[in-house]
Structures are given as structure tokens and as C-alpha cells.
């Protein structure tokens, strides 16, 4: 995946974006995390986080800490991301993603997305979960 962190400046959810597009935007933003400013990718990821995910993790500062922790850090500034599997069923989607850092080390993640039905972000696809593969929670 290469290119700018977001398409047409979309750094926040909009009903015009499909589930796969949201996944791509978030992954690109995380790859270019510190462009155009420090932790911009984290900001974009927080903007696309579902209300339930935000409730579980906390405010944007807590979200930043969660993405910078050892388990999730491979997502930040990754060199390449490959969606190995993407499945959408109704208002939910799930992706298996492999990221490779600049040293060539890989890590796999599962990302879940939902289509919001209520509130200010109704009809927008949002990230509802992130888990590193092979890690017991």
C-alpha cells in the first residue's frame, strides 16, 4: 500500500467511504504516522474508531498509548501492508492484515469494522476492533 494517508483529505468518517476504503485509509495513515505531523496516523485512526472501541480504550491520549505499545507498534510507520483476507457480512467486516516494517519483520493483525447506525457518524464504516494475531488477550 502506498500513497497519501487519506483519499481526498478524508481524515474522518464519511458515508461515502466503504468498509474496504476505511481499512485502506487507516492502514495508510498508520504507515505514514508522522506525516504531515507527529502521530497524524493515530489521529486518523481515532477518528475512525467506533464509539465502543473508544469507550474500551479511552480518549485520544489513551488511544495513542495503545497504538504505541509493543503489541501494536508494528502498525506505526510500517513499510507495507497486505490484506490477506477481507470478509464483509451485512453491517460488519473483518480483515486479516500482514504488515512489514522497514527491517523486514512481519506482524499480523485482525481488524474489525462496523457500519454505524446511530449518532453523528451514522452510515459510516468505523474500526471496531484490533487484535494482533497469535497474542492471547
Closest C-alpha among 79, 68, 69, 74 to residue 28:
79
Q: Give bridge partners of residue 115 from the DSSP assignment.
A: 125
Domain borders along the chain are 18-132
What was the pLDDT predicted at 102? 87
Report the C-alpha gap between 79 and 83 in whole angstroms.
14
DSSP SS3 for 10: coil
Rounded alpha-carbon distances, angstroms, from residue 97 to 13, 103, 124: 21, 18, 21
Q: Class for domain 18-132, per CATH?
A: alpha beta
pTM above 0.85, yes or no: yes
- Full pLDDT tens readout for the chain, 137 residues: 444 444 445 789 999 999 999 999 999 999 999 999 999 999 999 999 999 999 999 999 999 999 999 999 999 999 999 999 999 999 999 999 999 998 899 999 999 999 999 999 999 999 999 999 987 65
Tell how strand 92-100 and strand 125-132 pair up. Answer: unpaired
Amino acid at each position: 500500500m502506498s500513497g497519501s494517508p487519506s483519499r481526498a483529505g478524508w481524515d474522518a468518517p464519511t458515508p461515502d467511504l466503504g468498509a474496504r476504503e476505511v481499512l485502506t485509509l487507516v492502514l495508510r495513515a498508520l504507515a505514514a504516522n508522522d506525516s504531515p505531523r507527529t502521530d497524524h496516523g493515530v489521529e486518523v485512526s481515532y477518528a475512525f474508531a467506533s464509539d465502543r472501541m473508544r469507550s474500551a480504550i479511552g480518549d485520544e491520549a489513551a488511544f495513542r498509548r495503545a497504538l504505541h505499545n509493543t503489541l501494536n507498534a508494528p502498525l506505526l510507520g510500517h513499510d507495507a501492508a497486505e490484506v490477506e483476507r477481507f470478509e464483509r457480512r451485512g453491517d460488519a467486516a473483518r480483515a486479516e492484515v500482514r504488515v512489514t516494517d522497514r527491517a523486514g519483520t512481519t506482524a499480523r493483525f485482525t481488524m474489525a469494522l462496523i457500519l454505524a447506525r446511530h449518532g453523528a457518524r451514522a452510515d459510516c464504516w468505523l474500526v471496531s476492533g484490533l487484535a494482533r494475531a497469535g497474542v492471547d488477550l
